[in-house]
């Protein structure tokens, strides 16, 4: 996501994995109703507005919908604390980053450069929503970040987390394989195959160096999400492989492709026979 991050900075498995999947609201509802998911996720929303110093305009606001566990519904307080501390750290980092963005917005407003950004009620915004898919062994979380700091449109990008349900730890894809190079190459090859079969590079006018970003899918910047079909989903946000008009480019990798490279621990987490 190197190209994406630089643009943001410049702007400011054999068996099915389905137990409970959905967006933030749906996940909370299904789990609280006693579904088959092992970890009941609840959504907490954090919002704040920032007025200009002269109180004439709304400079910006943030709205973060984030997942939390309740100690009333999980037997291990340690697991709850570990999960919620991670969410709290994420929240703190996002708030601190947006506080700095609002200082920049105030300075921009004070200089009266681009004051039209606020004249008609427009304001800078930062939003986070999430979706989950959970089995008895693995919880996948995908966050959608949307940020707007003026101009014709905002920008969306994606991050993700994987949580081992029974152990109560966050895990990475690297821990699920003893052959990371083999896994990386196999998934890259499959994505390139899908691009070629769909003629996507021509259809969406991919950048000349798009293959280098696909080869880098495992570097930790991209969201890795396992859906209800057991497929590994990887999303390259807009600007990464092509122009903004092309939108995000999403690819689904079947267990038949990645499963061969999973170690025993990875196979257990992913429900692979």
pLDDT at 130 over 80: yes
Between 54-68, 114-128, 248-262, the lowest mean confidence (pLDDT) is in: 114-128
Q: Is the pLDDT of residue 7 over 90?
A: no
Radius of gyration for the alpha carbons in the chain, expressed in angstroms and rounded: 20
What pLDDT does 33 receive? 27
Q: What is the pLDDT of residues 51-103, one digit of tens each?
A: 999 888 899 999 999 999 987 766 678 889 999 999 999 999 999 999 999 99
pLDDT of 128 higher than 90? yes
Domains detected in the chain:
2-270 (3.30.565.40)
Contact present, 58 and 123 (Cβ < 8 Å):
yes
Q: How many CA atoms lie within 13 A of 249 on its CB side?
A: 30
Looking at residue 23, its pLDDT comes to: 61
pLDDT tens, position by position, 174-203: 999 999 999 999 999 999 999 999 999 999
Task: 35-40: list long-range contacts, CB under 8 Å, 24+ apart.
Answer: 36/136, 37/134, 37/139, 38/134, 38/135, 38/136, 38/165, 38/166, 39/69, 39/74, 39/79, 39/83, 39/134, 39/139, 39/163, 39/165, 40/69, 40/70, 40/73, 40/74
Question: For 23-50, how does the pLDDT look when each residue is reduced to its tens digit (9 = 90+)?
Answer: 654 333 333 323 344 788 999 999 999 9
Entry pTM: 0.85
Between 152 and 149, where is the model more confident? 149
């Amino acid at each position: 996501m190197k190209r994406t991050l630089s643009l943001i900075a410049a702007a400011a498995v054999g068996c099915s994995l389905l137990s409970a999947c959905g967006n933030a609201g749906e996940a909370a509802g299904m789990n609280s109703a006693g579904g088959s998911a092992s970890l009941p996720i609840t959504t907490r929303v954090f919002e704040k507005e920032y007025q200009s110093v002269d109180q004439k305009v709304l400079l910006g606001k943030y709205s973060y919908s984030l997942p939390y566990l309740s100690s009333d519904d999980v037997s291990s307080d340690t697991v709850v604390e570990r999960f919620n501390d991670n969410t709290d750290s994420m929240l703190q980092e996002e708030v601190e980053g947006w506080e700095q963005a609002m200082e920049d917005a105030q300075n921009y407003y004070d200089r009266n450069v681009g004051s039209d950004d606020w004249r008609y009620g427009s304001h800078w915004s930062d939003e986070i929503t999430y979706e989950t898919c959970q089995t008895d062994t693995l919880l996948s979380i995908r966050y959608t970040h949307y940020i707007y700091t003026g101009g014709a449109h905002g920008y969306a990008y994606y991050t993700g987390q994987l949580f081992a349900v029974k152990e109560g730890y966050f895990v990475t894809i690297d821990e699920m394989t003893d052959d990371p190079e083999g896994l990386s190459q196999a998934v890259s090859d499959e994505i390139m195959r899908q691009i070629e079969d769909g003629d996507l590079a021509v259809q969406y006018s991919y950048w000349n160096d798009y293959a280098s970003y696909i080869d880098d899918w495992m570097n930790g910047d991209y969201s890795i999400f396992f859906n209800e079909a057991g497929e590994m989903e990887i999303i390259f946000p807009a600007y990464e492989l092509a122009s903004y008009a092309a939108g995000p480019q999403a690819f689904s990798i079947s267990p038949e492709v990645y499963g061969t490279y999973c170690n025993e621990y990875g196979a257990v987490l992913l429900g692979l026979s």
